[in-house]
Structure 1
């Protein structure tokens, strides 16, 4: 899928995760889901492990858990938001399964402190967001293996049911509620749709943190930068600047300039 900017949803997700009513964490017999490769000294093979070689760390489980979680989130989006277009669905899913989100969920569930790893690296490994995200996905795979698909689905949905609407509503203004500089055209929405068009990899859109210029509170001037990239067109990261009396207007003006440069029809 094309590169997407998940930053707009992160504050809402962070707040929702912090307030999440946690479901009971199912008991898992196997400890493989929480075993880092450093615990048994990492081993690697060119193609596959020798016959009879046991799986000692969470990497295989993390791979399976990633797929299981992604499929369940896609189903939840389809069930609860059937009218949302495909490109937006991809963005919602990306927000919900990116490492930042998974690490925060893992922390709330108390998984990092259970990680088995090299004693000398314990503090850094357990504090690593990438590792925290991996053990959450590995836990889901172990839950699926030991207690079945229904138990795993129940656990995932108990966590994500409050997070899905928070993400959708955080992203909605990017597409349908951004005031336009000319009162009619939502250039931000057009630009985001362009970036997520099916069959067009290598496209990305990112808006920077808004800056406020001027000292008059009754007439502030906001400045927003919009950086776009399109590998197919050889655009490696072109930046457009918009200004306005509100953040939304400044963002839409920057998007309008980007749309014009990219020949995206209004």
Structure 2
């Protein structure tokens, strides 16, 4: 069955003629039938192209900020949650190719898979149309998400670490206490502990997400105290 990619290409801002590469960028390993036909290799390249373009964009947008502040902004723009939002904006779930089991389990809307495929699509654009077209796509969807504030975004883990350092306490300790769910949609449980404080736990689709949620919960408890 022929797939009409016209709406997808309109969202990307570019038409891709290499349908074989495009199909690979959209294919989850569950649908590759044991062969190396999934998006992983393209995702590897797309991650590097994304990082380069976002870093360059931030250098231009915030010419006076130090490396640490730029790194926090970059991390906020390329994290899984942000890329999953972009995936929804370009209607990516409509084109993802999955195996039967993953399809039935709802993997089509899994943020981890969607963010990976966004990176694979960036690589497909780069390989066929070059860096400038990949940059245009990245700017189109990420430039509007720049934090145009006096201070760069600060994630919960960084804020909790600074809280501990200001009080000359050991840094927060994060421990994975559980991992559940299938391989394509795991759920991680992370516990964060501080001396003299009751440990708190949180769950997330990745360890990083769970750690951020745990740090947020701990900060909320500390603020309430």
> TM bucket by the smaller chain?
0.5 to 0.7
Aligned to 1:63: 44
Does structure 2 retain, via aligned residues, the 8 Å contact 1:62–1:138? yes
Which has the bigger relative contact order, CA under 8 A and spacing at least 6?
1
**In 1: Cα distance, 2:99 partner to 2:124 partner:** 22
**In 1: Cα distance, 2:172 partner to 2:152 partner:** 27
Aligned to 1:26: 14
Q: 1:158 aligns with which of 140, 148, 162?
A: 140
Aligned to 1:76: 57
The reply to whether residue 38 of structure 1 matches residue 38 of structure 2 is: no
Q: 2:108 aligns with which of 113, 116, 126?
A: 126
Deviations 1:126-162 (A, max 9, x none): 1110000011000000000111111111111122221
The reply to whether residue 205 of structure 1 matches residue 158 of structure 2 is: yes
Instruction: Give the TM-score of the pair, scaled to structure 2.
Output: 0.62
Consecutive unaligned residues of structure 2, counting only runs of 5 or more, are 1-9, 174-192, 198-218
**In 1: Cα distance, 2:13 partner to 2:101 partner:** 28
Instruction: Give the TM-score of the pair, scaled to structure 1.
Output: 0.53
Does structure 2 retain, via aligned residues, the 8 Å contact 1:65–1:139? yes
**In 2: Cα distance, 1:156 partner to 1:205 partner:** 26
Does structure 1 retain, via aligned residues, the 8 Å contact 2:84–2:112? yes
Aligned to 1:141: 123
Consecutive unaligned residues of structure 1, counting only runs of 5 or more, are 1-21, 44-54, 175-191, 196-203, 208-225, 242-250, 256-266
Aligned to 1:89: 70
**In 1: Cα distance, 2:196 partner to 2:89 partner:** 39
Deviation at 1:173?
8.1
Does structure 1 retain, via aligned residues, the 8 Å contact 2:43–2:116? yes
Q: Which has the larger radius of gyration?
A: 1
Does structure 1 retain, via aligned residues, the 8 Å contact 2:125–2:134? yes
Does structure 2 retain, via aligned residues, the 8 Å contact 1:58–1:138? yes
Q: Secondary structure at the match of 1:116?
A: coil
Aligned to 1:210: none
Aligned to 1:169: 149
Deviations 1:147-203 (A, max 9, x none): 111111111112222112xx24285486xxxxxxxxxxxxxxxxx9xx9xxxxxxxx
Q: Secondary structure at the match of 2:194?
A: strand
Cα 1:84–1:122 change in 2 (3 A) is: same
Matched positions, count: 162
